[in-house]
Amino acid sequence: MARFRVELAGGRRMRATVSGRLRLSFTRIAPGHRVIISVSPYDLDQGTIIQRLPQSPSEHNT
């Protein structure tokens, strides 16, 4: 199972795994992508990536 280091908006870093729904749909996640994370109330250092957000036109690599 792949784990990613994710940096939150406040500068805090945590580990996150990809949800089963994203794995089944073969959603690619690469460095620089913005994602939505579900955080466990029992362990605030781990989370699950539940959605990848679309890139804005200014963030596209050309």
Per-residue pLDDT tens digits for 13-55: 999 999 988 888 888 888 888 999 999 899 999 999 999 988 7
* CA 33 to mean position of chain CA atoms: 7
**Domain spans of the chain?**
3-59
Q: Which residue is listed with tokens 């994602």?
A: 35
Euclidean distance between CA atoms 58 and 18, whole angstroms: 26
What CATH code is assigned to 3-59? 2.40.50.140
Residue 62 has pLDDT above 60, yes or no: no
Residue 51: strand pairing partners: 36
Amino acid at 33: H
